Amino acid sequence: MPAATLATALGFLLLAGGSAGDEAREAAAVRALVARLLGPERAAEFVVSVERALAAESGLDTYRLSGGGGGTPVRVCGSSGVAAAAGLHRYLRDFCGCHVAWSGSQLHLPRPLPAVPEELTEATPHRYRYYQNVCTQSYSFVWWDWARWEQEIDWMALNGINLALAWSGQEAIWQQVYLGLGLTQSEVDEYFTGPAFLAWGRMGNLHTWGGPLPASWHRKQLYLQHRILERMRSFGMTAVLPAFAGHVPKAITRVFPQVNVTQLGSWGHFNCSYSCPFLLAPGDPLFPIIGSLFLRELTREFGSDHVYGADTFNEMQPPSSEPSYLAAATAAVFEAMTAVDPEAVWLLQGWLFQHQPQFWGPSQLKAVLRAVPRGRLLVLDLFAENEPVYSRSDSFQGQPFIWCMLHNFGGNHGLFGALGAVNQGPAAARRFPNSTMVGTGIVPEGIGQNEVVYALMAELGWRKDPVQDLEAWVTDWARRRYGASQPDAEAAWRLLLQSVYNCSGDTCRGHNHSPLVRRPSLQMNTTTWYNRSDVFKAWHLLLTAAPTLATSPTFRYDLLDITRQALQELVSVYYEKARTAYLAKELVPLLRAGGILAYELLPALDKVLATDSRFLLGSWLQQARAAASSEAEAQLYEQNSRYQLTLWGPEGNILDYANKQLAGLVADYYTPRWHLFMEALAKSLAQGTPFQQHAFDKLVFQAELAFVLGSHQYPTRPQGDTVELAKRIFLKYCPQEAVASP
């Protein structure tokens, strides 16, 4: 499609003009952000303004920086609040050497503020910078209070995010709708999942599991949603609200016995007590009624920015592969939106197309993508750094799409990423013939890990070309992160770039596959796409840098994270030794290797994790409990949280998917199963009986369940010194290659 046609097709998506009132409101929001970030004194050195006219030529978010030096204020002007915040971030990053990240910020501002020698104007290459996966709401945001949300929205603004989900509180609206339709309160309660599983309830994968939602939950989420929306909109962000995708509670069939529904299949190894949702037939008269009731109630409560998310067939096999059915099911969702909001644009996670490519052949894809007028379906190419769909769907049949980096499933700890592919991806998608790309997106299932990957992706949202030299880029990144240039730390990051962050192919598809965080068996695959020695060397280099950098909180976080990674590597090494010994029927070497793994490495890991509040199971569970308004709710939330980290479902349905490495979780969940495994192997050798995986799985499930149902309370305050413990572990286990000259 020629550019002009594309622009027309995407007319709906083009930058809205704003009144002078909007400009003033957005500027005020950014000024308040500057004060939160830098404190009132330093904030006074910035002059922030918002002028829509800055983007007049391109229609794309633009910022302009000037001033600074010798006491002159730094002037930050943006075409929107988000653009101004992104301009501020650029100034802090490139002129002041500062760093803003989930794990902490390094904001040592020079005095006076450095000058911007020549006025600098930068426009983003695309209409949108998108943020969030539907799952992020459950894996990362579920227990957040307003203070934490505020930080996140600031992070979003600084990274120039202008399109993001705002999905809190939707169950409160659904409850009103269903009660209004004649369902009973207990039918509604039976339908919703618990808080930690709402993402999958919203996509029709699950119901009931982990519920019911207490009334206080609804009240708190409504309150939060209002504040979230108010803040997002004050920056000029577009908040994506949810819409009806077609899934309904089973009780709808009691109230409307004639209704035409299909029960879909199960999901994620859950049985139909928790899965197999009912999908309303697109031709049923109730479809537009329920869809419109919901959206009308929702927008009456929250207002609207005209973009709505809905996922009907996310990891769900449609009842028919007939293109006519798929088109009807798609059109029904869109029509229910436009009945309430004639300007509606539908935001669709394109995950289904890449998750079930056998089902979604060319005619099925086409049926869905053409069932909505061109320009009104905005598709997230959700895992584009790994398996882009735009390239095999003619740019989603001409619908606008956003090139998204997913990177992490379940929010696992573990260092991995494909910085090279991420760096090249957006530019390649833009160059694709007749590309309909309209933005870039950051869509991890869980945040708070591998920040270097997210820093690069956020930066790419504002770059026309890939970063030329990733080695230089990562070196600068380390320097800013620690607020000092330290050659060993920088060398460590270059080693990580060429190893853990240079993954390719299927070996590092978004998960931490380490045996450490998996249920033990004799079949575990310890292959890595990188050379483990690089991790050990980087570990050694960071330890060498420790005397200089130990006062930097971000450095201490990274030292802990790489020590954690090194221990994870050592667990693989000792697992291999133990397995080799077992297969060779050598009891003593088995006991030696197994003993080190289960009785030394894992306790050492737990102890070092305990030194940082970000790696405490206690803090994790405390967040859940703090969201409750009674002890009974606190117990429900804590159990939701424990399940999500481990068994996921009642029978280990999606076992260890959202694994984390947290102090307490290592000691009381991972360690006991390695004890059991090593004991079982030793017993097998001693008694000459074969090791039976199936019997072992049953045994270990009881231990896993004991942890999940347990009520032990874990420390919420860190204990011990990260640097000291990291050093001790290194000295004890330091593999030879770590100290060999690089």
Ligand X SMILES: *[C@@H]1O[C@H](CO)[C@@H](O)[C@H](O)[C@H]1NC(C)=O
Nearer of residues 434 and 580 to ligand X, judged by Cβ: 434
CB neighbours (10 Å) of residue 389?
23
Determine the Cα–Cα distance for residues 72 and 68; give it in Å rounded to an integer. Answer: 5
Pick the closest to residue 458 from 102, 205, 142 (CA basis). Answer: 102
In 641-685, at which residue ranges do the beta strands (DSSP E only) sit?
none
Nearer of residues 271 and 613 to ligand X, judged by Cβ: 271
Determine the Cα–Cα distance for residues 52 and 18; give it in Å rounded to an integer. Answer: 7
> What's the closest the beta carbon of residue 534 comes to ligand X, in angstroms?
7
- The token duo for 546 is 């420790």
C-alpha triplet 571, 719, 411: angle, nearest 5°: 50
> What's the closest the beta carbon of residue 421 comes to ligand X, in angstroms?
10
Ordered strands of the 261-263 beta sheet: 247-248, 278-280, 261-263
Q: What is the CA radius of gyration of the chain?
A: 26
> What's the closest the beta carbon of residue 492 comes to ligand X, in angstroms?
14
Nearer of residues 363 and 507 to ligand X, judged by Cβ: 507
Q: Footprint of ligand X on this chain (CB under 6 A)?
A: 1-2, 260, 271-273, 281-283, 325, 420, 433-434, 470, 497-498, 502, 504, 507, 525, 527, 531, 533, 650-651, 737
> What's the closest the beta carbon of residue 527 comes to ligand X, in angstroms?
4
Nearer of residues 120 and 522 to ligand X, judged by Cβ: 522
> What's the closest the beta carbon of residue 368 comes to ligand X, in angstroms?
15
SS3 readout for 337-362: HHHHCCCCEEEEECHHHHHCCCCCCH
For the chain, how far is it from start to end, CA to CA, in angstroms?
A: 51
Nearer of residues 525 and 719 to ligand X, judged by Cβ: 525
> What's the closest the beta carbon of residue 680 comes to ligand X, in angstroms?
21
> What's the closest the beta carbon of residue 260 comes to ligand X, in angstroms?
4
> What's the closest the beta carbon of residue 470 comes to ligand X, in angstroms?
6
Cβ-contact 595, 573 below 8 angstroms: no
Nearer of residues 33 and 538 to ligand X, judged by Cβ: 538
Cβ-contact 189, 214 below 8 angstroms: no
Residues 6+ apart with CB under 8 A from 724: none
> What's the closest the beta carbon of residue 166 comes to ligand X, in angstroms?
32
Nearer of residues 46 and 539 to ligand X, judged by Cβ: 539
> What's the closest the beta carbon of residue 502 comes to ligand X, in angstroms?
4
Nearer of residues 2 and 40 to ligand X, judged by Cβ: 2
CB neighbours (10 Å) of residue 697?
15
Nearer of residues 505 and 690 to ligand X, judged by Cβ: 505
Nearer of residues 1 and 339 to ligand X, judged by Cβ: 1
DSSP-derived letter for residue 584 is T
> What's the closest the beta carbon of residue 528 comes to ligand X, in angstroms?
9
- The token duo for 355 is 């998750």
Per-residue buried b or exposed e for 638-670, using 16+ beta carbons within 10 Å of the residue's own CB = bbbbbbbbbbbbeebbbbbbbbbbbbbbbbbbb
Cβ-contact 355, 387 below 8 angstroms: no
Cβ-contact 568, 514 below 8 angstroms: yes
Nearer of residues 318 and 350 to ligand X, judged by Cβ: 318
> What's the closest the beta carbon of residue 394 comes to ligand X, in angstroms?
7
Determine the Cα–Cα distance for residues 461 and 161; give it in Å rounded to an integer. Answer: 9
Nearer of residues 32 and 705 to ligand X, judged by Cβ: 705
Cβ-contact 259, 252 below 8 angstroms: yes
Is residue 73 helix, strand or coil?
A: coil
H or E element, residue 672? helix 671-687
Nearer of residues 259 and 560 to ligand X, judged by Cβ: 259
Determine the Cα–Cα distance for residues 584 and 582; give it in Å rounded to an integer. Answer: 5
In 311-400, at which residue ranges do the beta strands (DSSP E only) sit?
345-349, 377-381
> What's the closest the beta carbon of residue 735 comes to ligand X, in angstroms?
9
Is residue 405 helix, strand or coil?
A: strand
